[in-house]
Structure 1
């Protein structure tokens, strides 16, 4: 095999054979493919595409470029993946809820980058919680508890890690084929027997339009199924934050309120919809009812507490979660400048406001303050009077709160009359 020949094939608008894509992925992983060759490959894919078969072949090759976990369990091994949004802490509820329904969830997650939060950052706001485990430790927690949420080890899809960094600096991030291979190679390396995807669209998502989200969902579902993992997707609305809060510890508070029956709303509704779709796909009866029951009876909360304890967190976190989570020193309400109905929310702007407060990162090396963020954010369709709170800022310093206050008011649109409330689940892709 020769990297130049593979790149030339792409340049001519043809798709390399599966074994050639496998060779190239291995070269990305072991360093025998240079950065220049990786960049040329990414540009060729970005410009000319791979087609359905080529996309599946690249995904499988990137999955197989490192360790692929194998499980021998007495129940299905399932997972969920979200394409990212603001206030999206579904994974923290859904993983233990699925475990409470009797399946195993080895969830490999990521950190926040840009305007979206990261599941690992949220969990690490819990004192002592360790998201980095050895493979043996990961297996032990999954076997004992039923779920574990961890960071990817260096030997999980190393070709993706290399190519992802190259794409970032060569303006080739926005390729449907490369996005699909990147997302799925890491998920499929976990050895899954079923996957549900939450593909988001709207102001707080990477995909702003329903058409773009549908194209990505179709590519992900078809590719995952072609590589042997039964997969479906929900296209969901992200025109406003999913949870009332944005920020790591604040989102954990929202999670605990749902798990302990103190809160409902979009966060709970989407968790049930995704979990139900996944269980139905895996052959369970009345999957939606099973997920709902696991949450309402408290068994999902018990599983979450067991996972926290098994991964280094407080033993009695479920009983006293409020006292374990950090609090910001500056808390300030942002009030409505006039009466009206909330008609639109710029979710990306709110996410970037949290980043500016220190609750997210611009680059991977940035430190995150787990206590800062926004809470009690209004929803589209809410009627507010002048002086009514639009959100509550949690900041480290007064100056940061001042800037956040201006950004929040600019991000929330009020109108005189009623405003339509968007549907949460827009489409089910199978």
Structure 2
């Protein structure tokens, strides 16, 4: 056994002996041992290269080991490694300024958290305190995090064993491919989804609802880009009833959709915006809430009853400053938009034309999903064993995929190149060909 193999085996043994993994039964886990990464690539402990088309958890927008971000963290660690949130430090102010400058007009304050879940947690708290109301409406196809209220606001299966928070109501958002409203066009889906939401608001009592919490683009739930007019319609409903609109940009923000915030595609101004992931590509844990001036004014003479020991941690703040500066100066957001429109989107559409197992392709920027079906006519989802086999095959062919239910989410870093996209498309093509052969020998 050489030194690389020995180091990998040591890492594997330590992991299985001591690490408790999230969202998993522990007994049968066999995680890949990752040794190092650069840009859109990672290498395992055996020295094998993989294209990272998962962006890990759809957060690695500037790629692995961006030298500018790494250097900023190192420099900040040498100057001031940590400080309590009650103090003022320039790097925190610089990070907040850069974030607010990318937000819609009228957002000047940022509350920093440790990640996306507690960003949503605190946004819910702010909405309740601002309105004096209790209920929070969110979509069934959603994921908002794994803290107390955020996981109950979540719409998928992870909510069910964790329903300890109060005042949460769910509704169906638009999803034309599997419409809950018998719609056949985007316009119908928008109209009927908005009518459904209005009826839920009326049935729950508008005066009891503090917030509507929505992912601007649904992420883990399917990369569901809202049809034209939907978010504007939600905004109109919340304004009519005095309800706070919270847009969750944790996954969609900071380049993922080819814009700084996904809401820019929909010309909507919410009351609160939550973020994390792409703001610093996850190099140091961080998230936050952008407060509209109206919400921020609520707490000018009133104590906000919330805080975290590591709110605005200097290492995280330095990583934000470096990330956002690099994204602006290197044209990373523009690259994501171009790649999606000219390379990745057309390439995935070509795969759908070729492979009957692909029921729908949808997405924007570097945020795409292939919905896999057993039958295009009935739209029956591809069964879990086949999806599992496809996942294994993609990894065997040198690509790290992001797979959820019957979908392959195609979510490379925003710095991905044309050549890397073409390489990945060849891998997807080969793996889809193989699974179709197994399904129809």
* Fold equivalence (TM over 0.5): no
TM-score, structure 2 as length reference: 0.31
TM-score, structure 1 as length reference: 0.31
